[in-house]
């Protein structure tokens, strides 16, 4: 029985969806496929992974094909992660490590994330399990043995957040990176494989909007769908970067309207 979100993703092999949503926790906690299904009749899956950067998004985009998961359109959330060319998700990296031998895309991402331990992770028996025992060790084995139910995919990848914004300050970067190689890889892959890709920016709770980061980002990403300032009410937010469930309902409904889902 699948335990992690990545294992649930692998279990979607040979399935078909109308829409796929990729990105970080700002996707995972902010977009409900169930609402899309109820309002439009269209199928979708939320493949946002916690702390993902564009390198992780590129990996998942490739693996959709590797696992023969078909779709009509893929929506990719992008914001300040455009500036993080060298970054990747620690959480997703833990989850893919047991599958380091499965294909070249996973192997390359493991190398990118942890070059110092790559050889040992790939070629020394049990080394990768010892290094990540808290994530991939005995607790995982026990959970699978007793078939412990995972909540990782109860709502097709959507993970609702509770609670309301209390306090805190947030500001986007002042400058946009000149380029991001993984963004370029995503665009190239989509073009080569004839994928319909739409880039969008999810809502923020802005305390100070003196930064025009998203407007600058729009010059780097043609046709970027900018929803960064669409939800103004603090009641929609769990924190400055993430919507709570009420906000996710509002944002998913907005996407249905604005993106003609």
pLDDT by residue, tens only, the chain of 261 residues: 788 999 999 999 999 999 999 999 999 999 999 999 999 999 999 999 999 999 999 999 999 999 999 999 999 999 999 999 999 999 999 999 999 999 999 999 999 998 888 788 788 877 777 766 655 544 454 344 334 445 557 799 999 999 988 777 778 999 999 999 999 999 999 999 999 999 999 999 976 565 799 999 999 999 999 999 999 899 999 999 999 999 999 999 999 999 999
b vs e for 126-147, b when ≥16 Cβ sit within 10 Å of the residue's Cβ? eebbebbeebbeeebeeeeeee
Q: According to the model, what pLDDT value does residue 210 have? A: 57
CA–CA distance, 67 with 69 (Å, rounded to integer): 6
User: Reduced to 3 states, what is the DSSP secondary structure of residue 122?
Assistant: helix
Q: What is the DSSP letter of 87?
A: -
Two tokens, residue 89: 């998700």
> How remote is the C-alpha of 136 from its chain's centroid?
21
Identify the helix (H) or strand (E) that includes residue 225.
strand 225-226
Question: Using an 8 Å Cβ cutoff, are 189 and 58 in contact?
Answer: yes
Domains of the chain in sequence order: 5-258 (3.40.50)
Greatest Cα-to-Cα distance within the chain, rounded to the nearest angstrom: 53
Specify the pLDDT at position 126. Answer: 78
Instruction: Give the pTM.
Output: 0.92
Beta bridge partners of residue 226, listed in sequence order: 201
The DSSP-derived string for 210-246 is: ---HHHHHHHHSTT-EE-TTS---GGGBSSSS-B-HH
Beta bridge partners of 71: 17
CA-closest candidate to residue 165, choices 255, 59, 237, 107: 237
Classify strands 197-201 and 44-48 as parallel, antiparallel or unpaired. Answer: unpaired
3-state secondary structure of 105: helix
CB–CB of 153/2 below 8 Å?
yes
Q: Calculate Rg over the CA atoms of the chain.
A: 18
């Amino acid at each position: 029985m699948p335990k992690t979100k990545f294992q649930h993703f692998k279990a979607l092999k040979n399935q078909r969806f109308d829409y796929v949503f990729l990105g970080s926790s700002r996707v995972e906690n902010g977009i409900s496929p169930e609402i899309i299904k109820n309002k439009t009749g269209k199928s979708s899956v939320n493949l946002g992974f916690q702390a993902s950067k564009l390198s992780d998004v590129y990996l998942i985009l490739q693996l959709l094909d590797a696992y023969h998961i078909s779709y009509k359109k893929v929506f990719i959330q992008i914001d300040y992660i455009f500036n993080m060319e060298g970054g990747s998700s620690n959480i997703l990296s833990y989850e893919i490590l047991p599958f380091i031998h499965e294909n070249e895309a996973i192997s390359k991402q493991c190398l990118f994330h942890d070059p110092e331990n790559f050889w040992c992770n790939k070629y020394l028996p049990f080394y990768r399990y010892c290094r990540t025992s808290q994530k991939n060790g005995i607790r995982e084995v026990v959970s699978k043995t007793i078939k412990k139910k995972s909540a990782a995919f109860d709502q097709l990848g959507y993970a609702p957040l509770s609670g309301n914004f209390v306090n805190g300050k947030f500001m986007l970067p002042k400058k946009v990176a000149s380029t991001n190689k993984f963004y370029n890889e995503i665009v190239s892959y989509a073009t080569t494989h004839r994928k319909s890709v739409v880039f969008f920016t999810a809502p923020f709770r802005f305390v100070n909007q003196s930064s025009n980061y998203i407007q600058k980002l729009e010059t780097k990403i043609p046709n970027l769908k900018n929803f960064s300032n669409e939800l103004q009410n603090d009641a929609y937010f769990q924190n400055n970067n993430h919507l709570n469930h009420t906000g996710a309902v509002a944002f998913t409904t907005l996407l249905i309207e604005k993106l003609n889902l």
